[in-house]
Structure 1
């Protein structure tokens, strides 16, 4: 689409929408288009404004008389109706005026019934302007600080971290700490938008106001609830000469185990007690271990006899600071430092599995063993041991210079047929690279193939751990082919 074609598209979309407004009884005014919206409780006059980026941004709807429409979590700070959720932008459905009016009418119908079964979004932050202080204020479990004074101290990466503390009487002017107070707003059905609203809700906790006047609290942390969900907002507060309080919001976030695991997936809690061994923590195994921890697994055994070499880094989880470390130790250090994994939950074995007794020991002491060695002897050892014990191992490997990954459930579940043999062979067009100390060419497998194979392996591992396997035998996928060329077993 040329720039002329684009401009014509935008102009036509705007014209078409405005014609729909006219048909609905709207007329143009200075602020936009004013007209009626009928709903079950009556008719409300609104002003509809088309933003400059329309139709790529939805129209804005504001009641002519703000107070005739109840304030709720579904209104923006300036009184506009909050009509379109972030996840509701598909298809630019609001381009057609009739469809948009249906949405506006539905908004008023919900408002008339008090927003029954409302989703408990915790976005109180958007009702306050952002503070000029752009540091990130981090807090842990706020229950221990409730109705108490706190201190925020500078930490790394432009953050401020909460701890117990009261502003001393003779606080040094050059101190970089900021002092505050934690209070409970309780259940919040209508979001407060001013400091007066906050004080009215705090009630007996309004002593916060006195602390602000005495400059013993420059930061106020408010805990609030919507249904069973708890949120918090951190405010920057300053007494004004007129006797009021200027309030803006600080950028803040929870640094708790719940916050760190909330995005791990719905199975994270179930995986927390799972025990997994990863045999081989090279390129593929290191990312498998990383994703298992991110998915919720807290008990890992990492097994590898190799050390991190500079040439490993482009495809490996760890960075240059790990060169020279045993791979198992390097991966553990990374998982603890960067993923918050508990150090006590990760064991390391800096050797290979060489006997049936060792393989059996790992299989008995773990809910799942993942083999990422791409070594035939180790795979066979684990497979035979799993058959002997009546359990199974998950074996993953990259083949064909990274153009294929293969994941085997060994032995297959319910006596299913195993995956057929893979067709392997080097890419004859690719120049071969050799490195001192290696008896075979360096694999040209690209990093993205490693990560894709690791992700697929973890999906299968999670399925086995929660007793919902993806497939009884596993999966083979050819990454160089179009989607229809991939082969699942």
Structure 2
């Protein structure tokens, strides 16, 4: 009621306008009240075509900046197709999207009368065209069971001949407000099951998300072009029988209970798609799912995304920076990863890590792998819980470095100088691009850099140019954060948004490098990024490119003369021959 106290003239106007309408109309009776929550309401009895519609108009606290709304007083009543559910408010001529403060509550009541007198006419009822268009999200709010029709599934279903009956496998995910089903496998006409390629592995399997796998049948027939009312399992069986299908496998009993079965119906065109679940229980309960259709963008991938899918990216350090980079790369199209990190998630990591408490206590590399299995389809992640430059066995460390040598691009997200030296040496030896970055303690800025064979100085030369440049600047208020790959990360060194800012910039640099863009979007090998006015940065988002020079990627061994190379090859051949002779003697 605060609006009435703040604007008494408007309150008095509302009462006067409504009293005038009641006196003139003859079909309206009103009673003003204060609701239990303090809102001002008006009970409305509207006599329309001999029927009394008992409603209530409520003035929200934000009136007159937002409209009052009119609902049936009986919350089970539905008066109109222009109504938000049983007992819900009517969608009238004035709504939130076209409201103007000059409109009064009396105008809203007149609009209600016009709507109901047209729709509820006993002899000539007419539909009232709606000017209000619901979004698909608004329309889906009341659907507790949903089926996601993915862009890869629909062509598979459309390619089935008429008529068809094939097997399928479904996966159901139980969320807080909806039960969501996917089809993960569909059999062809030879009964060979094939994966639906765009359903992520984490959905199709029971872990890491709780996903319940199920079996079912897909029926396609032009008999399903006409949408029939199907409210029970018995009706479903009858409809299938009338369409000429055998219905064995639809209602299956085991130990006195019906098995859960997914049943999909499709007519000639895709809009006829319907999805049912025969729920497990002593009686065959039938539950129909609302279809979540793909958007147009789901049907195509850019050429760049297809190219990224072929690149294997090795990320060392899956802490605050590395976890954000990994998830962003997967969303961008990268499908092959190697992740190396020995650390696990602790509560202190939650101030900046990309993942949540759902992965608490799990090794970061494996946790990010599981998160990516829910992010995109076709992701393949190899993990190693090895600490590079740490106390590991020589065999374990060598295996990790060998695996990294098989990557097409390396990312150092550790801020650990010893790890950087190892990766720089590996990148130079294998001629593999290397990208890395740092967050400046306090979150006022950061640095991103890369070294590409044949296009930039080698990684150590880029690093040396960076430190040479820093020596020309005033002392930084904070040094770079050390060890945020895991072991020495201190809470609240920087906000999550600061890490995200640098991680996003580094991800863009990684993508540009992976695609070998020419010309590159990043003409420099090194950038300093500012997030606030501090140190050398004059404003938020101040970016300072740094021109670097230094040695290229040639190895010292390239200077060895050809005669020495031939001598080494001859010695290796002798060793190989000697090893085979020893094996033969041992076998004898």
TM-score range, shorter chain: 0.5 to 0.7
Coordinate RMSD, CA, aligned? 5.8
The alpha-carbon deviation at position 371 of structure 1 amounts to: 0.5
Q: Where do 1:129-140 residues align within 5 Å?
A: 134-138=144-148
Change (3 A) 1:52 1:333: closer
Task: Please state if 1:378 is matched with 2:430.
Answer: no
Contact 1:359–1:385 (Cα < 8 Å) also in 2? no
Q: Give the distance between the partners of 2:541 and 2:403, measured in 1 at CA.
A: 33
Equivalence for 2:437: 396
Unaligned runs of 5+ in 1: 12-48, 58-77, 87-122, 166-176, 186-191, 197-206, 238-247, 428-436
Deviations 1:122-158 (A, max 9, x none): x9x99xx989863012467363694327789893412
SS in 2 for 1:300: strand
Contact 2:313–2:409 (Cα < 8 Å) also in 1? yes
Contact 2:441–2:493 (Cα < 8 Å) also in 1? no
Q: Give the distance between the partners of 1:394 and 1:231, measured in 2 at CA.
A: 47
Change (3 A) 1:270 1:441: closer
Task: Please state if 1:455 is matched with 2:501.
Answer: no
Equivalence for 1:464: 513
TM-score by length of 2: 0.45
Q: Where do 1:264-413 residues align within 5 Å?
A: 267-320=304-357, 322-336=359-373, 338-339=374-375, 345-353=381-389, 361=402, 364-410=405-451
Change (3 A) 1:303 1:10: closer
SS in 1 for 2:369: helix
Contact 2:219–2:264 (Cα < 8 Å) also in 1? yes
Change (3 A) 1:414 1:213: closer
SS in 1 for 2:509: helix
Equivalence for 2:291: 252
Equivalence for 2:280: none
Q: Give the distance between the partners of 1:352 and 1:253, measured in 2 at CA.
A: 45
Change (3 A) 1:211 1:268: same
Change (3 A) 1:304 1:219: closer
Change (3 A) 1:263 1:312: farther
Change (3 A) 1:250 1:319: closer
Q: Give the distance between the partners of 1:474 and 1:290, measured in 2 at CA.
A: 23
Q: Give the distance between the partners of 1:361 and 1:290, measured in 2 at CA.
A: 24
Change (3 A) 1:288 1:252: same
SS in 1 for 2:424: helix
SS in 2 for 1:402: coil
Deviations 1:68-98 (A, max 9, x none): xxxxxxxxxx897999998xxxxxxxxxxxx
Task: Please state if 1:222 is matched with 2:232.
Answer: no
The alpha-carbon deviation at position 446 of structure 1 amounts to: 1.2
TM-score by length of 1: 0.52
Change (3 A) 1:271 1:131: closer
Change (3 A) 1:262 1:474: farther
Q: Answer with 1 or 2: which has the greater Rg.
A: 2
Count residues with an aligned counterpart. Answer: 349
Contact 1:10–1:55 (Cα < 8 Å) also in 2? no
The alpha-carbon deviation at position 277 of structure 1 amounts to: 0.4
Q: Give the distance between the partners of 1:54 and 1:132, measured in 2 at CA.
A: 21
Q: Give the distance between the partners of 1:267 and 1:402, measured in 2 at CA.
A: 32
Contact 2:351–2:492 (Cα < 8 Å) also in 1? no
SS in 1 for 2:442: helix
Q: Give the distance between the partners of 1:366 and 1:164, measured in 2 at CA.
A: 34
Q: Give the distance between the partners of 2:380 and 2:422, measured in 1 at CA.
A: 28
Equivalence for 1:148: 165
Q: Give the distance between the partners of 1:359 and 1:153, measured in 2 at CA.
A: 37
Q: Give the distance between the partners of 1:300 and 1:292, measured in 2 at CA.
A: 10
Equivalence for 1:36: none
The alpha-carbon deviation at position 210 of structure 1 amounts to: 2.6
Q: Give the distance between the partners of 1:209 and 1:51, measured in 2 at CA.
A: 49
Q: Where do 1:202-217 residues align within 5 Å?
A: 210-211=242-243
Contact 2:338–2:382 (Cα < 8 Å) also in 1? yes
The alpha-carbon deviation at position 345 of structure 1 amounts to: 3.6
The alpha-carbon deviation at position 368 of structure 1 amounts to: 0.5
The alpha-carbon deviation at position 55 of structure 1 amounts to: 4.5
The alpha-carbon deviation at position 311 of structure 1 amounts to: 1.6
SS in 2 for 1:313: helix
Unaligned runs of 5+ in 2: 11-61, 68-91, 101-126, 188-213, 229-238, 252-261, 278-286, 480-485, 546-588
Contact 1:400–1:424 (Cα < 8 Å) also in 2? no
Equivalence for 2:541: 486
